[in-house]
Amino acid sequence: MQYNYDFEIASLVIFAVLLGHFILIRQFPTEQTRAFRRLLVVSACECMVNIISCVGLANAAVVPVLWNEVFVFAFFVLEGLASFLLFRYMEVICAFRGREKRVIKLAGILPFAAFEAMVLTTPFTGFFYYFEEGAYRQGFGADWGYLYVCYYFLLNFVMIFLCRKTIATRIKVIVFVYSAAAVLAVLAQYRWRDILLTSTGNMLILLMLYMAMQNREQLIDSVSGVANEKAFENQMENLLAHPQERVLLMIYLRQFGHIGTVLGEESSRQILAMVGAYLLQLCGKYHVFRNSGAAFTVIADSAEDAQRFTEEIKKRFAADWQVSHNDVSVNAAILIQRYPQDFHTLPDYRGMCGYLKERAKSAGNQTVFRTDEALIKKYRRRIQVELAVGQAIRRKSFEVWYQPIYSLRQGRIVSLEALVRLKDEKLGFISPDEFIPLAERDGNIIYIGEFVLEEVCRFLAKHVLPNPSLGIMTVHVNVSMAQCLRKNLKESIMPILEKYHIPASMITLEITERIAIEAPKLMQRHMRELGKLGMAFAIDDYGSGNSNCSYLIQFPFREVKIDKDITTAYFQSSTARIVLENEIRTIQKLGLPVIVEGIENSEQSEAMERLDVDFIQGYYYGRPMPGAECLKYIRKFHSAPEEYGKED
Ligand code: C2E
Ligand code: CA
Ligand code: CA
C-alpha cells in the first residue's frame, strides 16, 4: 500500500514550531510542564519516525529491510508511549490522591505495559505487522492499536469526571474538544488507512493543550528571574488541594522604596535580581517566587529546610549587596507561616502576611516573625472588628455617649465629651481604643467623625440649646489624624453645625499631639480658620507622648487635657507626682486651663483641687452615658451635687 503522509509532514512542522517556542519561552518547571515536555518530545519523534518509515516502505526496493523494520518497530513503541504520556499529563492535572490515585495509575499503566509487550514481541509473532518479502503487512492484531488509543481517551474522560469538582471548566472543555478531535482522527485513519493521520491528531491535542494551559501566562518574573506571583498562585492552588506539610518564608525587603529613591530604579532592579539569584541558588528553582512589591516567598519542603534557609538568609542580609560600586544594605524581614497549621486558604495566608508585614515595619531590628496561635487569634479578632465597623457604618448603628466634665471652680458640670460607642451583635461591646485605630487605618474614621459630630449637633439642638439651665457650655469632640490631614477640615465641619444652627463656640475639638507633630502647618491653618469662627481646640492625652510645652506656644490651644494614664501614675509613683505637678504649673503659667482625666474617687479629686486644677473628667464625676441618661444625670447632679453621681 502507498501511504499519503502529507498531513504528517505538516504536523511535523507544527511540532517543531511548538517545541521551539516551548524551549525559547522559559517555562516555570512544574510537574505539569515536565509532563508536557515529555509528551511533546515523544509525539514529535513519533511523527518523524512515522514519516521516515513511510518513505522507507514506499522505497522498499532500494531501502534495506532492516532499516524499515527498525523504524516501523520504533513507530509502534512511540505510539504506545505517546498515549501513555498524554495520560500521565492528565494525571498530573487531576492530581488524584489515595486509593483513587492507585486505581487510576494501574488503569493507565497496565494497558501501556500490555501494548508495549505486544509491540516488543511483534517481530516474532507478527501481531501488529509483519514483513513479507520486504513489504510491510498489517498483522492480525493491527486494529488493537486503534482500540488502545481510544481506551486512553476514554480514561481521560473518566479522570476528568472523577475530579470534576476541583478542575477548572476551561480544562474540562479542552479535554472534551481534543478527545473529540482525536477520536475523529482515529476514525478517519481507520476509514482511510492509506492517509496517515496519527500524528495529526496528536499535534492537534498538543497545540490545544499548549495554547490553553501551558502557555497561558509566562510564569517567570522578568526583574528577579524567579517565578512570579501567577506561578506562586498555581503552586499554592496545588498545595491547598493536596495538603502536604510545608513552611512558607516571605522575605520582605523593608523600606525598599528608599533604595529606588536614593540610588535609582535601575539599582533597585539589580538588587531584586541579585536577591532572586541568591534565593534560587540557596533554595532551588521550584521553591522561590517573587511577590508583588519587594517581597519573595520561599516554599520550604520541611521545617529543617526552613530553619536552614532562615539562618542563611539572615546571614546574607547582614552583609551588603554590591550595586554599581555601592555597598547597599538591604533590610529584610523573614515572615514565617507553616502549612497546614497556620493557614488553610490563600486569602488567609495573604492576610496574615500583611499583618506580619505591619509588625515587621515597626520593629526595625527584629528579623524573623513567626505566626503562632495567639497571633492568628489577634489577627482574626482584628478582621472581625473591621467587619463590625463596616457593618455599623452601613447600618448607622454607632452611638454617641457623653461623659461630664466638672469645673472645680464653679462646682458644677460645665461641658461634656462625646465618645463613640459600638455594639456588635456577635462581638458585643467593642472599645473605641480597639476600633478607632483600625478605622484610622482604613479611612472609616472620616465617616465615624462626621457621624459623631452630626449626632452631637442634633443632641445640642434638641436638648442643650433649649435648656440653658443645664449649664452645658461646650461639647468636646475627638478628631482623628485622618480627619485633620484633609485639607478641608473646616468645610467638612461647618455645614453640619449650620444644619443644626449650632454656634461654633459650643464645640471644642480634641486633637492629640501626634497630629500637631505630623502636620504642624496644616494643623495651624485648621486651627486658625476654625478659631476665627469661634471653635476651640484642646490638646488631648497631654503627657502621654513626648509632649513638651513648645506645642502649647506654637498652636493656639485653649485647653490641655492630661492623659488618664498620667493621672493613674500620679497616685502611684513619686516621680510621676513631681512631673505632673510641674506640668500643671507650667501650663497654668501659660494661661491655659487644665482638664485632668481619669479621676475615680474623692481622694483623687481632692488632690487635684489642691493642685488648683480647673476641670476634672472621670468616673468620679460621671461615666460616659447615652445622651438622655446624661441629661437626667446632670439635672440630678446639679439639684444635689453632694449626693449624685460621685463614685467612690
Ligand atoms: P480619650 O479621648 O482619652 O477619651 C477618654 C477615655 O477615658 C474614654 O474611653 C473614657 O471612657 C475613659 N475614661 C473617662 N473617665 C475615666 C476614668 O475615670 N477611669 C478610666 N479608667 N477611664 C476613664 P473610651 O470611651 O473607651 O475612648 C477611648 C478613646 O477612643 C478615646 O480616648 C479617644 O481617643 C477615642 N475615641 C472615642 N470616641 C471617639 C470619637 O468619636 N472619635 C475619635 N476620633 N476618637 C474617639
Ligand atoms: Ca478625648
Ligand atoms: Ca484623653
DSSP states of 405-473 as a string?
EEETTTTEEEEEEEEEEEEETTTEEE-HHHHHHHHHHHTHHHHHHHHHHHHHHHHIIIIITT-GGG---
Q: Probe ligand 1: pick from 401, 419, 566, max atoms within 8 Å of CB?
A: 419
CA atoms 627, 632, 635, 639: torsion sign: negative
* Ligand 2 geometric centre to CA of 478 (Å): 5
* Range 68-99 burial, b when 16+ CB lie within 10 A, else e: bbebbbbbbbbbbbbbbbbbbbbbebbbbeee
220-371, what's its fold? Alpha-Beta Plaits (3.30.70)
Indicate whether residue 540 lines ligand 1 (CB < 6 A): yes
Indicate whether residue 455 lines ligand 1 (CB < 6 A): no
Indicate whether residue 221 lines ligand 1 (CB < 6 A): no
pLDDT digit string, tens, across residues 352-372: 999 999 888 887 678 999 998
Do the strands 135-138 and 129-132 form a parallel or antiparallel pair, or are they unpaired? antiparallel
pLDDT digit string, tens, across residues 57-101: 888 888 888 999 999 999 999 999 999 999 999 888 887 878 888
- The three-class DSSP label of residue 141 is coil
Residue 189: pLDDT above 90?
no
Amino acid at 5: Y
pLDDT digit string, tens, across residues 256-300: 989 889 888 888 999 999 999 999 999 987 899 999 889 999 999
* Ligand 3 geometric centre to CA of 525 (Å): 23
Atom 21 of ligand 1, residue of closest alpha carbon: 598
Distance CA 330, CA 58 (A): 69
Q: Probe ligand 1: pick from 429, 453, 476, 597, max atoms within 8 Å of CB?
A: 597
Q: Is 374 exposed, middle or buried (0-12, 13-18, 19+ CB in 10 A)?
A: exposed
* Ligand 3 geometric centre to CA of 557 (Å): 15
Closest by CA to 509, choosing from 489, 491, 495, is 489
The mean per-residue pLDDT over the stretch 434-447 comes to 93
Residue 3: its pLDDT value, please? 76
DSSP label at residue 618: S
Residue 457: pLDDT above 90?
yes
List the helix and strand counts (H, then E) for the chain: 24, 19
* Ligand 1 geometric centre to CA of 419 (Å): 6
How far out from the chain centre does Cα 200 lie? 45
Ligand at minimal distance from the CA of 480 is: 1
Percent helix, strand and coil across the chain, each rounded to 5?
60, 15, 25
Amino acid at 89: Y
pLDDT digit string, tens, across residues 375-434: 999 999 999 999 999 999 999 999 999 999 999 999 999 999 999 999 999 999 999 999
Indicate whether residue 404 lines ligand 1 (CB < 6 A): no
The model's confidence at residue 565, banded by pLDDT at 50, 70 and 90, is very high
H/E element holding 335? strand 331-339
Residue 130: pLDDT above 90?
yes
DSSP H stretches of helix in 460-519: 481-484, 489-499, 513-518
Amino acid at 468: P
How far does the chain reach from its first CA to its final CA, in angstroms? Answer: 112
Closest by CA to 316, choosing from 283, 352, 357, is 283
The mean per-residue pLDDT over the stretch 199-213 comes to 80
Please, where in the chain does CATH 3.20.20.450 lie?
A: 394-638
Residue 216: pLDDT above 60?
no
Atom of ligand 1 nearest to the CA of 624: 11
How far out from the chain centre does Cα 256 lie? 19
Atom 20 of ligand 1, residue of closest alpha carbon: 598
Which residues sit opposite 335 in a β-bridge? 250, 369
Indicate whether residue 476 lines ligand 1 (CB < 6 A): no
Residue 69: its pLDDT value, please? 93
The mean per-residue pLDDT over the stretch 549-570 comes to 90
- Which is more confident, 182 or 373? 373
> Out of 195-204, 346-355, 380-389, which region has the weakest mean confidence (pLDDT)?
195-204
* Ligand 2 geometric centre to CA of 588 (Å): 20
Distances (CA, A) of 262 to 25, 76, 252, 259, 268: 34, 64, 19, 5, 10
Cα-based angle 253, 254, 259 (whole degrees, multiple of 5): 85
Q: Is 519 exposed, middle or buried (0-12, 13-18, 19+ CB in 10 A)?
A: middle
Which residues sit opposite 197 in a β-bridge? none
The model's confidence at residue 537, banded by pLDDT at 50, 70 and 90, is very high
pLDDT digit string, tens, across residues 538-548: 999 888 766 56
pLDDT digit string, tens, across residues 22-59: 887 666 667 778 888 999 999 999 999 999 998 898 88
Indicate whether residue 452 lines ligand 1 (CB < 6 A): yes
Distance CA 311, CA 309 (A): 6
The mean per-residue pLDDT over the stretch 205-223 comes to 74
> Out of 30-39, 178-187, 263-272, 513-522, which region has the weakest mean confidence (pLDDT)?
178-187
Atom 22 of ligand 1, residue of closest alpha carbon: 598
Angle between helix 65-94 and 98-125 (nearest 10): 170
Indicate whether residue 132 lines ligand 1 (CB < 6 A): no
The model's confidence at residue 215, banded by pLDDT at 50, 70 and 90, is low
Indicate whether residue 600 lines ligand 1 (CB < 6 A): yes
* Cα atoms found within 13 Å of the Cα of residue 82, Cβ hemisphere only: 28
CATH number for the domain whose boundaries are 394-638: 3.20.20.450
Backbone angles phi, psi at 123, to 5 degrees: -55, -25
Indicate whether residue 444 lines ligand 1 (CB < 6 A): no
Residue 213: its pLDDT value, please? 66
H/E element holding 39? helix 31-58
Indicate whether residue 429 lines ligand 1 (CB < 6 A): no
* Cα atoms found within 13 Å of the Cα of residue 275, Cβ hemisphere only: 33
Place of cell 523600606: 255
Indicate whether residue 478 lines ligand 1 (CB < 6 A): yes
Residue 192: pLDDT above 90?
no
Residue 1: its pLDDT value, please? 61
Q: Are 561 and 597 in contact (CB under 8 A)?
A: yes
Amino acid at 379: Y
Q: Probe ligand 1: pick from 406, 431, 475, 478, max atoms within 8 Å of CB?
A: 478
DSSP label at residue 159: H
Q: Is the peptide bond preceding residue 556 cis, with omega within 30 degrees of 0?
A: no
Indicate whether residue 598 lines ligand 1 (CB < 6 A): yes
DSSP label at residue 227: B
The mean per-residue pLDDT over the stretch 450-473 comes to 96
- Which is more confident, 531 or 24? 531
Pick the CATH number of 6-216 from 3.40.50, 1.10.3470, 1.20.1070, 1.20.58: 1.20.1070
Indicate whether residue 619 lines ligand 1 (CB < 6 A): yes
Indicate whether residue 624 lines ligand 1 (CB < 6 A): yes
The model's confidence at residue 5, banded by pLDDT at 50, 70 and 90, is confident
Distances (CA, A) of 634 to 28, 246, 473, 475, 631: 72, 62, 13, 14, 5
Q: Are 159 and 104 in contact (CB under 8 A)?
A: yes
Please, where in the chain does CATH 1.20.1070 lie?
A: 6-216
The mean per-residue pLDDT over the stretch 137-153 comes to 89
Summary mean pLDDT of the chain: 90
Distance CA 21, CA 42 (A): 16
Indicate whether residue 403 lines ligand 1 (CB < 6 A): yes
Residues near ligand 2 ion, CB 5 Å cutoff: 478, 510, 540
Place of cell 455594639: 423
- Which is more confident, 193 or 448? 448
Cα-based angle 50, 52, 54 (whole degrees, multiple of 5): 70
DSSP label at residue 26: P
Amino acid at 526: H
Distances (CA, A) of 565 to 412, 587, 592: 24, 18, 21
Distances (CA, A) of 453 to 12, 445, 497: 76, 12, 8
Atom 46 of ligand 1, residue of closest alpha carbon: 478
pLDDT digit string, tens, across residues 583-633: 999 999 999 999 999 999 999 999 999 999 999 999 999 999 999 999 999
Ligand at minimal distance from the CA of 447 is: 1
Residue 639: its pLDDT value, please? 87
Atom 8 of ligand 1, residue of closest alpha carbon: 419
Ligand at minimal distance from the CA of 595 is: 3
Cα-based angle 71, 76, 77 (whole degrees, multiple of 5): 95
Q: Are 530 and 453 in contact (CB under 8 A)?
A: no
Amino acid at 117: A
